Structure 1
Amino acid sequence: MRFFILIIIFFTFFDLFAQLPIISPFAVSLGATPFLTGIAVGMYSLSNIIGNILSGVISDKKGPYVILVTGLTSTGIVLFSYGLANDPYSLLAIRFFHGLAAGLTVPAAFTYLANNTVQHKRGKSVAISGAFVGLAAIIGPAFGAVYASRTSTPDMMAITGILLLSLGLAAFFLLKKQRTSQKAEPAKSEHDSNIAWNRGLLLAFSGAFFLMFSQGVLAYMLPLKVEGLNFKTEMSGLLLSTFGISAILVFLLPINRIFDRIHPLRTLIIGFLLMGSSLFLLSAVSNAFWMYATMCIYGIGFAFLFPSINSLLIDSTHPHSRGKAYGYFYAFFSLGVVGGSSFTGALELSPNEGFMVSGGLLLTVAAAATVFRRNNRH
């Protein structure tokens, strides 16, 4: 069943990444102004936050089974509604419900995975789940762009909708037998029913936010840097794929055992150091070879950070509150993406300045985590 949950995670993130290259052109084709186009892109992430939080609360009360099946089927149904969009405002409504429905699935899937993972193997487990996310990040944008260009955006969304509806139906039957065992343990008191806001959990949430903050900056600024250096447009996609491939190699190779042998706070610091340093290097280089090299470093840093923040969350929560914790966790993911792109856009930074600011933030977080680790040890 663990593999089936990993398949759900893959296609949920596939839905996210496949839409990235096609939503802006689709909004423009419906007559959207640049302002409305930006809102159409960001609307998904904003409503996704609501879905994430709802998913966490319901997972703790009803168990992840119910919300997992609901999220998959409702997302699949909403994806068919893209064919009904006939102006920018109808697209905004569809984007809102798409993000809301999709936000239900991911926290429930990761809660299910965490609650069925042996404690001493939780680092390797989340590393493998990260590999499935990385695969979706590589395959999704390419498939979405190619299929939509040959057919249409609504057709592309409908294909994804069929896949998610099929998964929802399969989950209904395959996971139904385990529904009772997956229900959260009833809280014994008001204290037990709430998240314990300890330092480990705050570190996990902060890590999620700044990880995706850098992703938002990268998605916004990297194509602009590539264009400014007069490289081919598709090079930005290849650079992002390079980061994804290097991350997947770390997730799947035997090195992934490190996440069970070393405390997640140490691997978190390593991840932030590598990612922050690579963004600084990216701001300084203009040669294609060195740009690919820095993206490899960024991918390795991502691969160290993603399992670390997941392990910190698992170690800092109990099963009866883990769903809610994952809901907030992925809400911070969505906030980070919106914050990274909007922050650098609002300051009107150049690509190199954006990379330097983002890199500086990541290195600052690494320094703060190092101080925390030393104080905690003493």
Structure 2
Amino acid sequence: MRAHPIFILRMTGLLDGISLLVLLCIAMPLKYIGGIDVAVKIMGSIHGGIFILYALAILYAAIRVQWSPLWSAAAVIAAFIPIGNFILEWKLKKAQAQYSVKPFNYGLIVYSIVFFSFIDLFAQLPVMSTFAASVGSSSFIVGFVVGLYSLTNTFGNILSGILTDKVGPFKILMFGLILTSFSLLLYHFVDSPTLLIVVRIIHGFVAGLIVPAAFTFSANTTVNEHQGKKVAFTGTFVGLAAIIGPSFSGIMASRNSVPFVFTCVAIMGFILAILSAIFLSKYKPVKKEKTDTVTQASGSIFNSGVIKAYCGAFFLMFSQGVIAYLLPLHVQNLGYDSRLSGTLMSAFGIIAVLVFVLPTNRIFDRVRPSTTLALGIGLMGLAQLLISQSTTSLVLYFVLGLYGVGFALLFPSINTMLIKATPSELRGKAYGYFYAFFSLGVVAGSSVLGWLPFNIVEGFIFTGFILLLFATFIAFNKQKERVVNQ
């Protein structure tokens, strides 16, 4: 018989409360009175790991138990009060029998895996360059190791797609989660640029195994008429990772170290691997299916719908690379503090998440993905043009909000288009190439504009015109297909 979710919450809460007391009452006096700095470092790492377990237990209870959200809020607040967890455990022990357990939604594990994969990516952004410099890397090596993750990620994506079709997405997910979690722990042993390059190659490659397998698993266990909405929910977790990842890593790295940040992410990966082994191994694919586009008998996945999805993925991340490269420089030239760049990116992420979770997500099951693709990429292109002409923070927030709407329309559209254009037996390979184009887009967006003789304003204008041209092509092609079908 499985443990009640409230029992799991109680036990992890007690561990969190005990570790907090040890940190405050033993480790901190040892540091500030006895001069033993390592005491806080060790106990802080242990407490951080336990807190992640406790946070997951709160989430698990919120999902499984039919109770008021106030219990979840109380559990979060209790973690920051030295004896709060003990009082909460006493209350929960008396209340446990009153609450029944809801059926478990297995899709939440897949969403969490997507979140893990992208928070692994976004948590690197604020800390990797400084970490590379701290181990003696030259400016060239710093730039090289930052982009090396995305480059090797491409090869992992492709291999994941091929293997997913051969052995199924579940096994590749398990391998990806376990190997990525171990690779994150390798940063503790990095003490030279050469070793950092080796670890980045390993980390990027094995992390590339996860996302194609996760999206294939999700697509193969969802009925066709719900694909768009489910992809939108998946996009929510990508957006949350984009919002939480940079701030989490920046704060934790300043208080502890960069390897500690990666250890926290690794713990999340190991937990998800355990949950996947328990729950996802029994989850069966939905029997279907009729695709919108018939693939070749030879097994080719390169039809018009797939090619559009790949182009959409590339230009989506090309645009993201440009934003990451040029926006901080543009903000700096306008005389604003560098913190404005971070809040602008968070604003775009928040707007995207709102489009994903609000009833607006119904559009992805009611409107053809080619239509929302053209609209989304068009709004992103327009936003790039407007950024080049924006000179105040208020206008920049508005424009990044517009960009967030475009991102929110584009991401589910290209995923839905890919799903509808591929049969399940080829979907792993299709997703492998799909996320390879994602990775290549990031590299191209930041590097191509660095090579071209453009200033900041010209870089945004160039990108905006490229995106608008692609949107026009999609819209024209869609109109042409409609005429041919008539």
Same fold, TM-score > 0.5, yes or no: yes
Partner of 2:399: 294
1:286 counterpart letter in structure 2: T
Shift of 1:333: 0.2
**Aligned residue number for residue 251 of structure 1:** 356
Q: What amino acid is the match of 1:158?
A: T
Q: What is the Cα-based RMSD across aligned positions, in Å?
A: 1.6
CA deviation map 1:10-63 (0-9, x unaligned): 111111101111000000111111110111001100100010001101110000
Larger radius of gyration: 2
CA distance in 1, matches of 2:133, 2:415: 38
After superposition, where does 1:98-117 map in structure 2 within 5 Å? 98-117=203-222
Structure 2: stretches of 5+ with no match in the other structure: 1-105, 290-294
Deviation string 1:270-324 (CA, Å, 9 cap, x unpaired) is: 1011100011000001111000000000000000100110111011000000010
CA shift at 1:121, angstroms? 1.3
Match of 2:246 in 1: 141
> By percentage of residues, which structure has more helix?
1
Task: Kindly indicate whether residue 389 of structure 2 is the aligned counterpart of residue 284 of structure 1.
Answer: yes
Contact 1:64 1:183 in 2 (8 A): no
Distance 2:176 2:453 in 1: 37
Matches of 1:183 and 1:376 in 2, distance apart? Answer: 29
Alpha-carbon distance in 2 for matches of 1:127, 1:177:
25
Q: Aligned letter for 1:58?
A: L
Which stretch has the larger CA shift, 190-199 or 56-65? 190-199
Give, in whole Å, the separation in 2 of the partners of 1:253 and 1:70. Answer: 34
1:46 matched residue in structure 2: 151
**TM-score, normalising length from structure 2?**
0.75
Pairing 1:195–2:275 present: no
**Structure 1 unaligned blocks of 5 or more:** none
What is the CA deviation profile of residues 193-224 of structure 1, one whole-angstrom value per residue up to 9, with x for unaligned ones? 73331101000000000000000000001111
Alignment of 1:223-242 (within 5 A): 223-242=328-347
Q: Would the aligned equivalents of 1:195 and 1:317 in 2 still touch at CA under 8 Å?
A: no
Alignment match of 2:165 (pick from 44, 60, 83): 60
Secondary structure at the residue paired with 2:112? helix
Alignment length, in residue pairs? 373
What is the CA deviation profile of residues 49-90 of structure 1, one whole-angstrom value per residue up to 9, with x for unaligned ones? Answer: 010001101110000000000000000000000011111111
Write out aligned runs for 1:299-378 (5 A): 299-378=404-483
**Match in the other structure for 1:161:** 266
Is the 8 Å Cα contact of residues 318 and 444 (structure 2) preserved in structure 1? yes
Query: How has the CA–CA distance of structure 1 residues 258 and 23 changed in structure 2, closer, same or farther, with 3 Å as cutoff?
Result: same
Instruction: Give the whole-Å Cα distance in 1 for the aligned partners of 2:365 and 2:281.
Output: 31
Determine the structure 1 residue equivalent to 2:71: none
SS in 1 for 2:208: helix
Q: Which residue pairs with 1:204 in the alignment?
A: 309
Q: Deviation string for 1:132-167 (max 9, x for gaps)?
A: 100000000000011011111111111111111111
- Tell me, yes or no, if the aligned pair for 1:63 and 1:184 is still in contact at 8 Å: no
Aligned match of 1:120: 225
String of CA shifts for 1:221-269, please: whole Å, max 9, x gaps: 1111111111011110000001001101111110110111110001011
Match of residue 72 from structure 1: 177
Give the match's secondary structure for 2:336: coil
User: What is the TM-score of this pair, normalised by structure 1?
Assistant: 0.96
Describe the SS at the equivalent of 1:279: helix
One-letter identity of the residue aligned with 2:474: A
Contact 2:223 2:286 (8 Å CA) reproduced: no
Report whether the alignment pairs 1:267 with 2:372: yes
Q: Is the 8 A contact 2:221 2:285 kept in 1?
A: no
CA distance in 1, matches of 2:263, 2:287: 32
Contact preservation (8 Å) 2:127, 2:253? yes
Q: Is the 8 A contact 2:160 2:172 kept in 1?
A: yes
| 328-337 or 83-92: bigger deviation | 83-92
Relative contact order higher in (CA < 8 Å, ≥ 6 apart): 1
Amino acid at match of 2:473: A
Aligned counterparts of 2:288 and 2:438: Cα–Cα separation in 1: 24
Shift of 1:350: 2.1
**In structure 2, how many angstroms separate the alpha carbons of the residues matched to 1:236 and 1:204?**
29
Aligned to 1:10: 115
Give the secondary-structure state (helix, strand or coil) at the position aligned to 1:194. Answer: coil
Q: Which residue of 2 aligns with 1:23?
A: 128
Which whole-Å CA distance do the structure 2 matches of 1:263 and 1:177 have between them? 33
User: What is the CA–CA distance in structure 1 between the aligned matches of 2:205 and 2:288, rounded to whole Å?
Assistant: 23
What's the secondary structure of 1:142's corresponding residue? helix
SS of aligned partner of 2:123? helix
